[in-house]
Structure 1
Amino acid sequence: MRIRVILPVIGDALIDHVRTEVTGWAAAGTEVDVVSLERGTASIESEYDEALAGPGILQRVEEAAADGVDGVFITCFGDPGVHAAREIIDAPVVGGFEPAMLTALSLGETVGIVTVLPNVLPMLRSLGRRYGIEGRIGALRVVDLPVLGLEDREVLLDRLAEQASDAVARGEADVIVLGCTGMLGVAAELRDRLAAAGHAVPVVDPTGAAVTWLESSVRLGVTPSRTTYMPPPAKARSV
């Protein structure tokens, strides 16, 4: 099984970190390769960023289709380009939001998301409405750290624990979802910190949810429905 991971940002600085994280979640025998964008932005923290990244993401999806990969993970919690990508490749495609949230919905009644910045909250509310799950999202919290400022693991964990613990204590969350795929390798420790504070709730890592979801989809032999994701009509396009 071959999974193409599209890091929807410009530059190669994060590629090794993402490859290590994805490989850690992947099953034995799953091949993983990671590519970034030739054009776009350094991170996605707004609708503007997402729009600028779109052409670069779709270029990488077209390459993945030509390479015959079995699945594509666009590693961003905002699911940038996911639905457009499903129109142009006969392989399952996910971002971070959909698999993480659908996993979380099977674990508890109310889901709390802890993400990066206030700029991202309207995007996540919009995604909740698109997927019809807005009524199950009880908390939307931020750690007030930009995507490119998540490298201090202890600061990140302290802020995640503070927000998640408060959301659970207030009855706003039965499950916590990490609201950024850049929050690498912290889900298990956050779960343990919450448990130590008396909150026995699961914590869903969006990268882990996406990778295992893709692997399951490939094993099931399912690809995007062509009654939903219809191939784009042929016409002149300039991107």
Structure 2
Amino acid sequence: MRQRIVIVNPNSTAAVTEGISAAVAPLRAAQGPEIDCVTLEEGPPGIETQAQIDAVVPPLLARLKREAADASVIACFSDPGLQAARAETGRPVFGIAESGFRKALTLRPRFGILAILEASSVRHRRYVAALGLSESFAGSLPLDLGVLELQDRDRTFGRMVDVGRALRDDKGAEVLVLGCAGMPQYRDDLAEELGLPVVEPCRTAAEAALAALQSAGAAAP
């Protein structure tokens, strides 16, 4: 029986889930674990405030339990309920923010985050500090766009270039992390435009989930 990784988008916007699925498509292999991307219908259209983060945790944990996957990914950059999910499922669970930070530091010594809103940047700074990564953190700057607005490419990409350039030139970022699950489609173009590596955290977290299953399989008697 094939193992299964489930990636849960905690907001209710199907277009975001579709973008995540496209981002992880290269990781799907006929002989490897299934990688399923699902939408939390009970979630808000976009997760942008602390209240929304807190409110989404109970239905998210319930969905992870129902899915009962071999490994899971929480595809929201606030990593809502991450520690609780690890404790309650007893299986590997990865948050896209934590995974994105750690991947960035394997590429370059100093990372910056493209946030959606200023309130998001505040949360990023707290989270980076809690993970003990402040010395490697160049900063987090907002696009001033909500989750749903990210679907507008003409508006979003130009703003991402401006913010990414500010992180590179003013903050000293050497690698950028996309700070929302609604941004995967911009990674390659942004990296080319700015000449920096850009980490897309949904795919990065899925890679970590695959590695965890492979490691567990190798360790099994």
TM-score, structure 1 as length reference: 0.83
CA distance in 1, matches of 2:171, 2:15: 39
Secondary structure of the corresponding residue to residue 39 of structure 1: coil
Q: Find out whether 1:4 has 2:10 as its counterpart.
A: no
CA distance in 2, matches of 1:21, 1:59: 25
Secondary structure of the corresponding residue to residue 44 of structure 1: coil
In our comparison, the structure showing a higher alpha carbon Rg is: 1
Of 40, 43, 48, the residue aligned with 2:43 is 40
**Equivalent residue runs for 1:1-239 within 5 Å:** 1-10=3-12, 12=14, 14-28=16-30, 29-65=32-68, 69-195=69-195, 201-221=196-216
Higher helix content, 1 or 2:
2
| Structure 1 residue 20 displacement after superposition | 2.9
Please tell me the residue identity of whatever aligns with 1:64: E
CA distance in 2, matches of 1:210, 1:12: 19
| 8 Å CA contact 1:26, 1:211 repeated in 2 | no
| 8 Å CA contact 2:43, 2:56 repeated in 1 | yes
Task: Evaluate the alpha carbon distance shift between residue 17 and residue 165 of structure 1 in structure 2; reply closer, same or farther with a 3 A threshold.
Answer: closer
| 8 Å CA contact 2:149, 2:156 repeated in 1 | no
CA distance in 2, matches of 1:181, 1:13: 11
Please tell me the residue identity of whatever aligns with 1:144: D
Please tell me the residue identity of whatever aligns with 1:44: I
- Which 5+ residue runs of structure 1 have no aligned equivalent? 196-200, 223-239
Secondary structure of the corresponding residue to residue 101 of structure 1: helix
Task: Evaluate the alpha carbon distance shift between residue 70 and residue 44 of structure 1 in structure 2; reply closer, same or farther with a 3 A threshold.
Answer: same
| Structure 1 residue 123 displacement after superposition | 1.3
Task: Evaluate the alpha carbon distance shift between residue 188 and residue 74 of structure 1 in structure 2; reply closer, same or farther with a 3 A threshold.
Answer: same
Give aligned-pair identity as a percent.
30
CA distance in 2, matches of 1:161, 1:39: 33
CA distance in 2, matches of 1:64, 1:51: 21
CA distance in 2, matches of 1:59, 1:221: 25
| Structure 1 residue 217 displacement after superposition | 1.1
| Structure 1 residue 84 displacement after superposition | 0.5
CA distance in 1, matches of 2:122, 2:194: 27
| Structure 1 residue 35 displacement after superposition | 2.5
TM-score, structure 2 as length reference: 0.89
| Structure 1 residue 50 displacement after superposition | 0.5
* Residues 162-218 of structure 1, C-alpha deviations (whole Å, 9 max, x = no match): 1112221225201111111110221111010012xxxxx211111111111111111
Structure 1 vs Structure 2 CA RMSD? 1.8
**Across the two proteins, how many residue pairs are aligned to each other?**
214
4+ runs deviating over 6 angstroms:
none
| Structure 1 residue 32 displacement after superposition | 2.1
| 8 Å CA contact 2:116, 2:145 repeated in 1 | yes
| Structure 1 residue 15 displacement after superposition | 3.6
